[in-house]
Structure 1
Amino acid sequence: MPVELTALGHRFGTEPWLFRAMDFTFHEGTVYALIGPSGSGKSTLLGILAGWIAPAEGVIAIPHDRTATWVFQNPHGVPGRSAVDHVALPRLARGAAPDDADEEARHLLERFGLGHVAGREFRALSGGEAQRLMLARAIASEPAVLLIDEPTAQLDPTTGDTVNAVIGELARDDTVVVVATHDTRTRDACSAVLDLGRFARRAEG
């Protein structure tokens, strides 16, 4: 089911509006680049989509029984657990048998170019490998909405390119994917763009 924003706006207290009069529909199966200048409210909009922040005005229509998963810009994992363990865990939590969860996890790791590190501990992964692992784990949880905050912000350009190369793998028929980014290469890896700068200008009017 799409996620629909109607006349959405937000500000904190009496501070200036970050964005306002936002009418937009996020469709399933599409990866959206959320762009805009610093301070335009990209992380705030992710928080609203996650259900963590109530908008100051307007309406967001998202099914209450659907889950949202957030991938942060700094990858967090269990240092001594393997890459395959990280991806298998969401499947185990959904009731999969251990062997089936491991098989599905290894398949996902291959999709994200991580098959060769399946047995490697998290602490031994490179920055790009760790970020791709977090994306694979997020997909394994089968969220309705997948939110990704600046996935290449902490990476050098070459390593960032390895993450951007798998952005297209995030699209699923039943998932809305929103990637907040300043990186033009990440933007170009997405299939659609939402520029918050347009709605920031409306807030000034």
Structure 2
Amino acid sequence: MQAARGASLSATGRPGDPPAGDTVGADPTSATAGRPARTTGLALAVGVTGLVVDQVTKVLAVRELTGREPVEVLGSFLQLVLVRNPGAAFSAGASITPVISVIAILATVVVLWQVRRVRHRAWALALGLLLAGVSGNLVDRLFRPPGPLRGHVVDFFALPNWPVFNVADICINVAGALLVLLLFRGINPDGTRHDATAEAAR
């Protein structure tokens, strides 16, 4: 009896404590839960990589597509055509570009704040893609003509009956789809699940 109590004390520090290494509230069935530093690092790495790819492709688009007719990649289904967009999708809000820029700055700050709290790799991937997309278009609005907060976003992918878009837009849409999937499955950014959280609160 004493030996059993001693083993319990040595393993947990005091009676009743959870075993060492357990994470309170974590989803024990999730194979994608990770340490905070690793998941935050993953999100930032995805964000930076996406931002670089977005900006490099925009530089190439401006250099190679300026003054050219649409270039067919997959016939008329996918074409490359240079468009400078002062607004959002479908050029909405073209007259309020500075407002859109301020919203993009706030969105970038919010995503960076959430990245610090993420504990789930799929959430880290989604937030990283969202960060890449929001910051990619924000860089255009800050540094491209006609001036800071009024810069036009470079778009160059064209599909039938769809607004011309860029790599940043792809990142935003993929991130949105992944976030919806995670929420539908009840997975929280910290790796817990909605059903497990509700059960623990009872």
Tell whether the structures are fold-level matches, with TM greater than 0.5: no
Larger of the two Rg values belongs to structure: 2
> Quick check: which one's helix share is greater?
2
TM range (shorter): under 0.3
Structure with more of its chain in strand, by fraction: 1
TM-score (normalizing by structure 1): 0.26
TM-score (norm 2): 0.26
**Greater length-normalized contact order (CA 8 Å, ≥ 6 residues apart):** 1
